[in-house]
Structure 1
Amino acid sequence: MKINLLTIGTRGDVQPFIALGKELSSRGHHVTICTEDAFKDLAEKNRLSFSAIRADYADLTQSEEGKNMLKGNPISIVRQLKTVIYPMMEQMLDDIWTVAQDADAIIYHPKVFGGYDLAEALHIPAFIAHPVPVIAPTRHFTNPVLPFAMRSGTLNRASFKINRLLTASFFSLVNKWRHETLGLSGKRSVFKDDSVLNGKHIPVLYGCSPSIIPFDQQWEGHVSMKGFWFLDEDAWTPPPELLHFLEAGPPPFTVSFSSMPLRNPDHILNMLQQAFKEAGQRAILLTGWSGIKRTTDSPHIFTAGSMPHSWIFPQSRAVIHHGGAGTTAAALKAGKPMIICPFSGDQPFWARKMRDIGVAAAPLKEKKMSVEAFVSRIHELVSNHTYSQRASEAAALIKKEDGVRHTADFIEEKLEEKTPAT
């Protein structure tokens, strides 16, 4: 069966899809990953077909406009919609239509506006997939896209309706495409539930762990949440200077803000250098897209652009990170306590959840960062062994799961239900 996986965003939005695609491919399906060019090598390295979506998310996040949008500035978001986002979305819609026309099924990230419409136009099975539980309503927790948590089950369930409001500004663009390109007559609107197609729920695939996030029994049958979608990466060879640093002292903290651009990266770097010096701890700093320079004159800090979290986290004492779903999952799998510095999106959700299960110190937002705040939390993780114990317990549960395999089982079961017997 030809299955297209459609996703855009950061590596945290793409790598789990590649892991799932790799499993489906191993079962004999012809899988095509449709995403940004930046991930072509990763897709082809894992022996998957690749089709480019012209959505330069990486370039956008590094631009001044993108940085303002990631900071959650609503004025900037509205201002940039027509000048930056709309042209990118128009290209994306054209690209996914071109590649999907011979697909037997599609699995799409909600960021790929148009996945729902493709399934409607082509009359093929569809799945909505996300590494964060943001789609199916539940009483158990507040919609992770919101920066706060509510205690009311009724309000929690209602909070998932905000998803439609967040995409409402794109409906005119999508509806024009539906009519002119797909030949569909109906319109998308805030009053239409886009998780239901032809009167039936579109199956939802969550790439997260039921050991960490509660599975709502009302989801049974149309939601799969069997575990994180980890990608089994090839063996990575660390550079000699990194090995020398690791061998020269006790396990370091690893710091990674990944794709999040810092407002004042030089100031944060100086702050981290001083904090680790005062705390008497060593650190590996992965600069990513944060804007931090790759060089530092501190003997107790090793800097690098990036390296596989699956390799470095197990070598670490603890992890300081932005709270992205993929980074959080990798830290949990490695059994490491955390300090989470949430910026936007679902990051506050993961920061709260990690605090609640006892594997993380209190969250530290960028505007609250200080040498004293970092030193206090570093000392807390080092002196309170409960954090490490809880992290090890979480890791033991996660390692028993096989999220990718069980999710693929769920997909095949649903496809069999929709395929007439011959």
Structure 2
Amino acid sequence: MRMLMITYGSRGDVQPFIALGAALYRAGHTPVLAAPARFASLAADHHITFLPLPGNVEVLARQIADESRQQPLRLIGIISRFALPLGIEVARRIQAAARSADMIVHSFLTVALGHLYATQYGLPECAVDLFPFFDPPADIANIAWPTDRIGLAGRRLSHVFAHTIFRYTQSLSYRILHRRAPDIGPSRLPWAAPGRQFGLLQAYSAVLVPPGSAPLTVQTGSWWLEATNWQPPPDLQAFLAAGPPPVVISFGSMATHDAPHIARIVLETLQRTGQRGIIQRGWAGLTPHQVPDTIYLADEMPHDWLLPRASAMIHHGGAGTTASALRAGIPSVIVPFAADQPFWAWRAHKTGANPPPIPVSALSVERLSLALQQALDPVHRARAAMVSGRMRAEGGVAVAVQRIEQWAA
């Protein structure tokens, strides 16, 4: 079957769909991925037909990192201003791809268009939650409020509020686009609840968040992209062999203008705590001005290879990075910027594997040094190893492919 997958965002939003597409390909299907154009080569590496979507996601990531300030309504405004000028072209490309699809698999930011064209062409569909939104468990509030201090009524109200805002902004955006381009679909945006009217795959670990309760919700665990053929460069191998396991530092897609300041804090922290480090530059180009021989500067490399060779990790708290560190059995110091990162930082801390997170606005050498020393304590390492064992026992993409095939039949 021809499976159309639709997602939008940074690598953390796309890589799980690459993993799903690779698994669908191995199962004999034809995966098609609609995603930002910068991920074309990643899709090609895994035999996935690629449909490029317009927009510079690095610009979006920079705006989120520098402007959202962990305020949900501000974040919605940033995403809306970015998405509206691109919306008509995105809709037309997805509409054209849907005509030849046998099923549509869509994500948080693409659920409205995914459901629209599944309905228009009579296709089976399912949604993917990379964080608990469409069918959250009763014991947490919406991800915008990462705290235990909200009672049951407040938690329920937070989900009603978030879903109302989400549906309103999706419907309003579609009306604006349809007024400009009536050919993108019917005048009204159809709506249905993932997990109730059609399938919902929760692609995160039950170790971090319990499953939802809707009848068509399936929690699979995280979706891993195994880098089976990747070979490290000789200088990296030499660095790893030259001393104890290093601390890995990665802020992923957080292309913040504060990168030089953060790089200085990270370098001073490693020097103060006597740790070696591998600093991944990321979209921010995180590069200290002077790099001692105890530091290795790296670009992208597969975390499933790198992290088991590390002592700990300092990162931004993206869903994929948080799960990767825990699966590798290493503790983390999480420095969340925006979006769902404070939520994952909170949930990872609750596992006992990590010390409390440090918001990026409060980051300092003193706080990061103390947190890193706490993370390197054997108690955290032992707890991280326990969490790793539980995460590795989850079915991941194998369960997702099985359910997709059932829903597509």
Question: Which whole-Å CA distance do the structure 2 matches of 1:403 and 1:279 have between them?
Answer: 37
Q: What is residue 122 of structure 2 aligned with on the other side?
A: 123
* Structure-2 change in CA distance of 1:358 and 1:395 (3 Å): same
Cα distance in 1 for residues equivalent to 2:251 and 2:350: 21
Contact 2:267–2:288 under 8 Å retained in 1: no
1:36 is matched with 36
Normalised by the size of structure 2, how large is the TM-score? Answer: 0.91
1:233–1:211 Cα change, 3 Å: same
Measured in 1, the distance between the counterparts of 2:83 and 2:208 equals 34
Q: CA separation in 2, counterparts of 1:378 and 1:96? A: 45
The one-letter code of the counterpart of 1:186 is R
1:420 alignment partner in structure 2: none
Letter in 2 for 1:109: S
Q: 1:145 to 1:20 in 2, by over 3 A?
A: farther
Question: How far did residue 202 of structure 1 move?
Answer: 2.0
**Shift in Å, 1:251:** 0.5
Partner of 2:206: 210
Over the matched positions of the two proteins, sequence identity in percent amounts to 28
Q: Deviations over 1:188-238 (max 9, x none)?
A: 6xxxx64269xx52211111122332124x23x311112110012232221
Alignment match, 1:414: 407
Q: CA deviation at 1:148?
A: 4.1
CA distance in 1, matches of 2:274, 2:39: 38
Q: Relative to 1, partners in 2 of residues 1:228 and 1:66: Cα closer, same or farther, differing over 3 Å? A: closer
> Could you tell me how far apart the structure 2 residues matched to 1:269 and 1:17 are?
31
Conserved? CA contact 1:355–1:362, under 8 Å: yes
- Report whether the alignment pairs 1:367 with 2:369: no
Amino acid at match of 2:113: G
Structure 2 unpaired stretches of 5+:
none
Asked whether 1:239 is paired with 2:239, we answer: no
Find the counterpart in structure 2 of residue 195 from structure 1.
Answer: 193
Contact 1:340 1:364 in 2 (8 A): yes
Relative to structure 1, the CA distance from residue 81 to residue 143 in structure 2 (aligned partners, 3 Å threshold; closer, same or farther) is: closer
Instruction: Measure, in 2, the Cα distance between the counterparts of 1:356 and 1:61.
Output: 27
Unpaired runs of 5+ residues, structure 1, are 417-422
Contact residue 246 and residue 252 of structure 1 kept, 8 A = yes
Could you tell me which residue of structure 1 aligns to residue 96 of structure 2?
98
Q: Which whole-Å CA distance do the structure 1 matches of 2:55 and 2:36 have between them?
A: 6
Q: Larger deviation: 366-375 or 258-267? A: 258-267
CA distance in 1, matches of 2:75, 2:403: 40
Mark the CA change 1:237 to 1:137 in structure 2 (over 3 Å): closer, same or farther. closer
Q: CA deviation at 1:3?
A: 1.2
- The equivalences for 1:107-122 within 5 A come to 107-112=105-110, 113-122=112-121
Q: Is the 1:323–1:342 contact (alpha carbons within 8 Å) kept by the matching residues of 2?
A: yes
Q: Secondary structure at the match of 1:204?
A: strand
Alignment partner of 1:258 is 2:260: no
Provide the rounded CA distance (Å) in 1 between the counterparts of 2:74 and 2:4: 35
Residue 128 of structure 1 aligns to a residue whose secondary structure is: strand
Contact 2:98/2:118, CA 8 A, preserved across alignment: no
8 Å contact 2:84–2:177 — kept in the other structure? no
**Any residues of structure 2 matched to 1:6-45 within 5 Å, and which?**
6-45=6-45
CA contact (8 A) 1:109 1:130 kept: yes
Q: Letter of the aligned partner of 2:41 in structure 1?
A: D
Contact between 1:319 and 1:331, CA under 8 Å: does it hold in 2?
Answer: yes
Counterpart-to-counterpart distance in 2, 1:70 and 1:93? 26
Whole-Å Cα distance in 1 between the matches of residues 353 and 278 of structure 2? Answer: 20
Q: What is the CA deviation profile of residues 377-420 of structure 1, one whole-angstrom value per residue up to 9, with x for unaligned ones?
A: 121122x311011110111111122211011111222223xxxx
- Secondary structure in 2 aligned to 1:201? coil
Change (3 A) 1:351 1:391: same
- Aligned equivalent of 2:273: 279
The one of 294, 298, 306 equivalent to 1:300 is 294
Q: Could you tell me which residue of structure 2 aligns to residue 2 of structure 1?
A: 2
Does residue 184 (structure 1) correspond to residue 186 (structure 2)? The answer is yes
Which residue of the other structure, out of 302, 327, 331, is the alignment partner of 2:325? Answer: 331
* Per-residue deviation, 1:25: 2.0
Over 3 Å counting, the alpha-carbon distance change for 1:75 and 1:23 in structure 2 is closer
Q: Among 386, 396, 401, which residue is 2:389 paired with?
A: 396
Conserved? CA contact 1:143–1:156, under 8 Å: yes
Cα RMSD after superposing both structures? 2.3
TM-score (norm. length: structure 1) = 0.89
Q: Output the amino acid matched with 2:11.
A: R
> Which of 243, 265, 278 matches 1:249?
243
Corresponding residue SS for 1:306: coil
- Quick one: which amino acid aligns to residue 98 of structure 2? A
Specify the code of the residue in structure 1 equivalent to 2:392. Answer: K
1:393–1:129 Cα change, 3 Å: same
- Cα distance between partner residues in 2 of 1:291 and 1:281: 21
Relative to 1, partners in 2 of residues 1:411 and 1:314: Cα closer, same or farther, differing over 3 Å? same
Q: For the Cα contact (< 8 Å) 2:58–2:255, is it kept in 1?
A: no
